[in-house]
Amino acid sequence: MTYDYDLLVIGAGSGGLAAAKRAASYGAKVGIIENDLVGGTCVVRGCVPKKLLVYASQFSHFYQDAVGYGWEAVKPKFHWSKLTEIVDTEVNRLSQLHTSFLDQSKVDLIRGQASFLDARTIIVNQGQGKTATPQTFTADRILIATGSEAILPKSPGIEYALTSRELFKLQEQPKRMAIIGGGYIGIEFAGIFNALGTEVIQIVRGDKILRGFDDDIRTHLQDAMHQRGIKILTESQVERLEKTVNGTVLSLIGDSAPPTVEVDAAVLFAIGRAPNTADLGLDLAGVAMTDRGAVAVNEWSQTTQPHIYAVGDVTNRANLTPIAIDEGRAFADTVFGNTPRAVNYANIPTAVFSQPEVASVGLSEDMARERQGQENVKIYRSIFRPLYHSLTGSTEKTLMKLVVDRQSDRVLGAHMVGKEAAEIIQSVAISLSKGATKQDFDNTMALHPSTAEEFVTMS
């Protein structure tokens, strides 16, 4: 049977773009369908614009720290509208760049909302309402790469809440802001707005932020955020939101929670993300889903339909941009390049661009003790004031930690809170992926004076 395409990709985010371009490089006829800006969550409303906001917010610290180094104190003035304008311009530039890369790769970009008609046919609705023009396309193979969307609870007044998608479009900087959720998205935005001068209240369901990270990391960062002026309400939940003349009132429940908190209109819900499968018509294609709402796949990213695949956040495996890219390329290498390979999910480095920054690779202390046994894990930990802060007057400290298997001496995990944590952990991740031991770290000559040297001098 003849099809319109060798491969149709649904979603032009990180995973979809990587797969489409790689498949086209092998000679496949490829189309990619997107109803939004090309680039996906990371480029359009995630990693990239968020990191630009992090950079912008950090200048407030530089102004303060400079005084300790002999610079005269100044009173800088920040313009939120200027920042959002230039970030939006950069996002659009990057999106257009990704579009041009598709053109250079000879991948057809199909604009519109995609859904399955059957296992081989995709209908794409271009436009909305009565002006919508449906088109159908068939393909030998189909790749689902639709990413994820922010979760909102069904609480009264939730229509007044924001997700990270809307936060980048705020017309005015809030004076008082509530952030619900203690995961990396909520933590990062708390740091951004706090540094820009917004009064931030963070409401966390558990007793600590960053569930799933090493416990020392969680405690250290939470204390540092308190010191920077962020108010964190733990073991608290939002019961309802009510609009008032002055802003928004949040009614809270929890043993340590105040009855209400009043802020401006900015209430960010960052309680997690869910695979974006709505309106895809997966049932019509015979594609099974997991009990958590993700597209079910095997190690080759193959769904229950052998010719339909899925990569990225929509599979809810490891929801990180580099993972989606590698999954997309591995799919193309396997299916179109005759070089089968599966993605290695071991020792994935992770960063939280909080203030101060967090980065980890490998096992946390609790995970290591659970897997290796309590007595078979040795911990190396260092907490110190970095040289940078010796003149700023700040009491903020850096935390660095190694988790080591006592029997083999292999380093199982590395964790850090402090300046440039992500840049440092990226290099440490190479060592872990090669099976480095603590002795290998000890045998590595230190680079002095640097923060990174602490990883090779711990005893």
Model confidence at 287, pLDDT cuts 50, 70, 90, reads very high
What residues contact residue 247 under an 8 Å CB cut-off, 6+ apart? 176, 262, 263, 264, 265
Of 79, 80, 84, 267, nearest in space to 190 by CA = 267
pLDDT-above-70 percentage for the chain: 99
**Contact (CB, 8 A) for 400 and 440:** no
DSSP 266: -
The 10s digit of each residue's pLDDT in 357-389 is: 999 999 999 999 999 999 999 999 999 999 999
Tell whether the torsion through CA atoms of 437, 439, 441 and 443 is positive or negative. Answer: negative
- What pLDDT shows up at residue 130? 64
Of 164, 225, 237, nearest in space to 191 by CA = 225
Two tokens, residue 329: 């390329």
Q: Is the model's pLDDT at 218 over the cut of 70?
A: yes
- What pLDDT shows up at residue 128? 66
Find out whether the peptide bond into 449 is cis, omega within 30 degrees of 0.
Answer: yes
For 400-407, what is the mean pLDDT? 98
Domains and their CATH numbers in the chain: 5-46+83-149+274-335 (3.50.50.60), 158-271 (3.50.50.60), 350-456 (3.30.390.30)
pLDDT-above-90 percentage for the chain: 96
Q: Is the model's pLDDT at 90 over the cut of 90?
A: yes
Of 180, 168, 188, nearest in space to 248 by CA = 180
Q: CA of 11: how far to CAs of 28, 35, 195, in Å?
A: 18, 8, 34
For 33-45, what is the mean pLDDT? 95
- What pLDDT shows up at residue 255? 84
- Cα gap 33→304, rounded to integer Å: 22
- What pLDDT shows up at residue 265? 86
The 10s digit of each residue's pLDDT in 186-206 is: 999 999 999 999 999 999 999
- What pLDDT shows up at residue 35? 95
End-to-end Cα distance, the chain: 66
Q: Is the model's pLDDT at 337 over the cut of 90?
A: yes
Q: Is the model's pLDDT at 8 over the cut of 90?
A: yes
**Contact (CB, 8 A) for 380 and 445:** no
Q: Which residues are catalytic?
A: 448
Q: Is the model's pLDDT at 129 over the cut of 90?
A: no
**Three-state SS annotation for the chain:** CCCCEEEEEECCCHHHHHHHHHHHHCCCCEEEEECCCCCHHHHHHCHHHHHHHHHHHHHHHHHHHHHHCCCCCCCCCCCHHHHHHHHHHHHHHHHHHHHHHHHHCCCEEEECEEEEEECCEEEEEECCHHHCEEEEEEEEEEEECCCEEECCCCCCCHHHCECHHHHCCCCCCCCEEEEECCCHHHHHHHHHHHHCCCEEEEECCCCCCCCCCCHHHHHHHHHHHHHCCCEEECCCEEEEEEECCCCEEEEEECCCCCCEEEECCCEEECCCEEECCCCCCHHHHCCCECCCCCECCCCCCECCCCCEEECHHHHCCCCCHHHHHHHHHHHHHHHCCCCCCCCCCCCCCEEECCCCCEEEEECCHHHHHHHHCHHHEEEEEEEECCHHHHCCCCCCCEEEEEEEECCCCEEEEEEEECCCHHHHHHHHHHHHHCCCEHHHHHCCCCCCCCCHHHHHCCC
The 10s digit of each residue's pLDDT in 62-84 is: 999 999 999 999 999 999 999 99
Mean pLDDT of the chain: 96
- CB atoms < 10 A from the CB of 70, how many? 7
Identify the residue whose tokens are 């619900």: 180
Stretch among 91-100, 128-137, 314-323, 432-441 having the lowest mean pLDDT: 128-137
278: left (phi over 0), alpha (psi -120 to 50) or beta: beta
Two tokens, residue 402: 């190694």
- What pLDDT shows up at residue 350? 97
Two tokens, residue 100: 């041009």
